Amino acid sequence: MARKKTKAQPTPEVIAPVQDQLITDTIEKNYMPYVMSVIVSRAIPEIDGFKPAHRKILYTMYKMGLMHGARTKSANVVGQTMHVHPHGDMAIYETLVRLTRANEALLHPFVDSKGSFGKQYSRDMAFSAPRYTEVKLDPFCAELFAGIEKNAVEMVPNYDNTMVEPTLLPTTFPNILVSPNMGIAVGMASQICSFNLAEICDGTIALLKNPKTNIEKILDLIKAPDFSGGAQLIYDRDQMREIYETGRGSVRLRARYEYDKQNSCIDIVQIPYSTSIEAILKSVGDLVRDGKIKEITDYRDEIDLNGFKLTLDIRRGTDPDALMARLFKLTPLEDNFSCNFNVLIDGAPRQMGVIEILTEWIRFRRNCLVRELSFELGKKKDKLHLLRGLGKILLDIDKAIRIVRETEKESDVVPNLMSGFRIDEIQAEYIAEIKLRHLNREYIIERIKEIESLQQEIARLEEIIGDELKQKAMIAAQLTEIKKKYGKPRKTQLIYAADIADVPTEPVVENYPVRVVLTRDGYFKKITHQSLRGSDEQRLKEGDVILCSEDTENRAELLIFTNHAQAYKAKLDDFDTTKASALGEYLPASLNFEDGEYPIMLKALTEYNPKHNIVFLFENGKGIRVPLSAYETKTNRKKLTGAFSSASPIVAAVYEAEPVDLLLLSDAGRAILIRSTLVPQKATRTAGGVTLFTLKAGQKLKEVFHGEAISQIDGASKCKKIKIPATGVALSAADFGKKQLTLQ
């Protein structure tokens, strides 16, 4: 009987046990490879002055034959670059844009361009799509690729092993300090400013001649960074020395401008490399809108085919230098460029100063030169070897012809020539390939004459390869030629802090007499005396009354106390003048009062006299004198919290320049008349004060009169007190005279 087949049971899945691992080990294993990739293969430039993305684009264009001939569409370059650079097309194109002449990011552009490529100094000026723009290599790139076909640098396979690419470009000048470069890696960054090519060549030549050249000599030759945007650099030799020695520091740049007196405008023609025109326009616009800069009537971007220009229309009579001094302080028209010279040397990031970078470049360049000379030496030795074999058949040309003619098999021609003339296979191959027409004595003699010159050239090359001084002399000669051919005057002008005119940065406020008026409901007016001559009758909102009114000058500062125990400060010049017939400006809105907050006192001040005081009087009958100097601040603070005690509601605040009489009236109709000197003075603003008016339970201080207001109260004299605390004297309605309506 056949056995019944059973269904195969699935093999149970074996789950590996979970193993504990230190978080540091996890990070090292999973994160560190990414970190190293970003540092080494993306963000930090190498000694040739390029990041991998730049190098791959330029080499691709070189292999496309774009050193000569017509331009090609940028899209073609982007597509070809993908063979060596596995990134998106837009990432490649954005990198290409920065290398172009039209973008104006480089002192010496590498790409000759046609079309719109945006501008380095603009965030919003976008570049056109790659299908519209055209590019080719600039003639300057000949200095990047010199010797690349002679094994000057190592070539490695690309990412898919379909072609080779250079690890570095054999730049014949220190491009690392000529082209600006910025990169942010993981845990480190690099920001290298550009220097003038001619100055860098001079400094490098000095180091080639004397490796111990000191920093002071280098500072004389390489004066300071030079930026493609020009502008002015405020030169500080000590600061520059620190950058040259350590590779870290910052330089201050400021815009260059011209004053057009005829059109009453300032033309800004160059701005710092580290800012943008949008940032400047926004900053200037904010200052104009906020009323902090009143001299500018209009501002606009006037960039055209003639170049960069930002125009500021200014009021007639404005001092342009004083205005620009303020704008330098308040806007990015003056900005810092931070230097951080991080460079990859032999695959490891190093922060280096200028001399150290140039020394490393010289080492790199010598290696390129030796490789190039060794390549040439090998070629010349090979040629010499062939010519020596050719010289041997000169002795018997007929024999060579006979050997070739009598050889039955083609494969035996080379061996027969080798044995017949005692030459090696390479020489025999060369002789066998000579055309029949060249097998004559004249041709062979002419070729053999090259042997002597080849031997001399080989000896010269071997001598240079073995002599460091000769190598340095060759590099120096190349740098001298490069300076002569491509050197340009500095674009960035050097100025010294001592040479900057000392002009006031604060605006000159026009001064004239005014009257300030504040109402109980918070309406404020600044009225010129000339306007008051016509009519001084104040227009008020229905039910509103004048709280404060005094004559002062336009340069005064306003100090306003409110019921929330806060003080506000404002420049009187910030308020527009108005007429008595107008309601005025609503102060709570202008100064951003809190909900339910209203003014109780206003004082216009030209100085904070320490002998003057503010007397605060509270509902609980207490009072305090606070020195005016307690409200003076070193910074332009707009609001002071805790201006006085909030333990009891405030009734009145009185400014005391000289001792003044105060009449305190309670809600029970009783009053005391005291001298302000009786109120104790406290240095602490929030002190609760001492009792001035003895009030019964449930009673409170209702109103305070001072100055001329007391003279209108007939019964005031009978309330006079010379000690505190004091009990109030009852007043009748008849005692108040004109003020009788204030009694309930």
Given a cut of 60, whether residue 619 has pLDDT beyond it is yes
Q: Is the dihedral of CA 145, 149, 150, 152 positive or negative?
A: positive
Res 194: pLDDT:
96
**pLDDT tens-digit readout, 286-299:** 999 888 888 899 99
Q: Greatest CA span in the chain, whole angstroms?
A: 155
Res 1: pLDDT:
44
Q: Which amino acid is at 507?
A: P
Given a cut of 90, whether residue 280 has pLDDT beyond it is yes
**Could you give the dihedral angle defined by the CA atoms of residues 707, 709, 712 and 716, in that order, rounded to the nearest 10 degrees?**
-70
Res 627: pLDDT:
93
Given a cut of 90, whether residue 65 has pLDDT beyond it is yes
Q: How many CA atoms lie within 13 A of 83 on its CB side?
A: 16
Given a cut of 50, whether residue 440 has pLDDT beyond it is yes
Q: Which amino acid is at 119?
A: K
3-state SS, residue 336: strand
Confidence of residue 507 (pLDDT cuts 50, 70, 90): low
Given a cut of 90, whether residue 438 has pLDDT beyond it is no
**pLDDT tens-digit readout, 120-173:** 999 888 899 999 999 999 999 999 999 999 999 999 999 999 999 999 999 999
From the CB of residue 44, how many other CB atoms can be counted at a distance below 10 Å?
Answer: 24
Res 743: pLDDT:
35
Rounded CA separation 492/106 (Å): 13
Domains, the chain, in order of start with CATH, read 50-170 (3.90.199.10), 256-332 (3.30.1360.40), 369-486 (1.10.268.10), 513-742 (2.120.10.90)
More confident residue, 711 or 116: 116
Res 7: pLDDT:
55
Residue that the structure tokens 């090609």 belong to: 72
Res 744: pLDDT:
30
* Span of 88-92, 343-347, 538-542, 622-626 with lowest mean pLDDT: 538-542
Given a cut of 50, whether residue 433 has pLDDT beyond it is yes
More confident residue, 94 or 39: 94
Res 14: pLDDT:
63
Angle at alpha carbon of residue 93, lines to 87 and 94, rounded to 5°: 100
CA-to-CA dists, residue 361 to 171, 175, 183, 354, 385, angstroms: 9, 9, 20, 10, 36
Q: What number is the average pLDDT over the span 554-583? A: 90
All residues at 6 or more sequence positions from 286 whose CB lies less than 8 Å from its CB, including other chains? none
- List helix spans (H) across 267-396: 277-289, 320-330, 354-394
Quote the tokens at residue 418. 């080798």
What value does the mean pLDDT of the chain take? 89
Confidence of residue 16 (pLDDT cuts 50, 70, 90): low
Catalytic residue numbers? Answer: 132
Confidence of residue 680 (pLDDT cuts 50, 70, 90): very high
Q: Which amino acid is at 584?
A: G
Res 15: pLDDT:
66
Q: What number is the average pLDDT over the span 702-711? A: 86
Segment holding 495, helix H or strand E? strand 493-496
**pLDDT tens-digit readout, 352-402:** 999 999 999 999 999 999 999 999 999 999 999 988 888 888 778 888 888
CA-to-CA dists, residue 460 to 76, 368, 457, 472, angstroms: 44, 18, 5, 15
CA 209 to chain centre: 37
Given a cut of 80, whether residue 474 has pLDDT beyond it is yes
Residue that the structure tokens 């340009």 belong to: 488
Q: pLDDT above 70 covers what percent of the chain? A: 95
Q: What number is the average pLDDT over the span 213-225? A: 95
Question: Mind giving me the DSSP string for 212-262?
Answer: T--HHHHHHHS-SB--TT--EEEE-HHHHHHHHHHSEEEEEEE-EEEEETT
Res 504: pLDDT:
64
Give yes or no for a cis peptide into 680 (omega within 30° of 0): no
3-state SS, residue 411: helix
Given a cut of 70, whether residue 224 has pLDDT beyond it is yes
Res 394: pLDDT:
76
Question: Mind giving me the DSSP string for 67-118?
Answer: TSS--EEHHHHHHHHTTT--S-HHHHHHHHHHTBTTTT--SS-SEEEES-B-
